[in-house]
Amino acid sequence: MVNEVCVNLLRKPSYTESEVQQTIENFQVRYPIMMLTIENIQQASVLRTKYRLLYWDSVFIASAMDAGCSKVYSEDMQNGLKIGNLMINNPFLA
């Protein structure tokens, strides 16, 4: 999610607000950005209950499912977890 990237960049003292804005623009040019909907938030609630996900992880997964993704990369969720047609992969595991 663009939000999470921005939050993490802003935690770094070396990143300026203008660099964060440029990163957002670069994302927008390169990737389709999906808007968060009330349906995503409702689906996230179902996913949290079923898979014991954290709030932002569930929103991320619900949005990825809505966008038709088949794979997401996250170091925060269980590697190999399959949710519907979506597979969670930890990019830092060999």
**By residue range, what is the domain housing residue 4?**
1-33
Based on the fold, state whether residues 20 and 44 are members of the same structural domain. no
77 within a domain of the structure (yes/no): yes
pLDDT-based confidence at 2, cuts 50/70/90? Answer: confident
The strand pairing partners of 73, in sequence order, are 89
Backbone angles phi, psi at 5, to 5 degrees: -60, -45
Based on the fold, state whether residues 48 and 85 are members of the same structural domain. yes
Based on the fold, state whether residues 65 and 27 are members of the same structural domain. no
Mean pLDDT of 6-22: 90
Q: 32-87, pLDDT tens digit by residue? A: 888 899 999 999 999 999 999 999 999 999 999 999 999 999 988 999 999 999 99
Question: 8 pLDDT exceeds 90?
Answer: no
DSSP state, residue 88: E
**Enclosing H/E stretch for 29:** helix 17-30
Based on the fold, state whether residues 46 and 10 are members of the same structural domain. no
Which tokens belong to 21? 């804005």
pTM as predicted = 0.77
DSSP state, residue 48: H
Query: What's the pLDDT at 45?
Result: 98
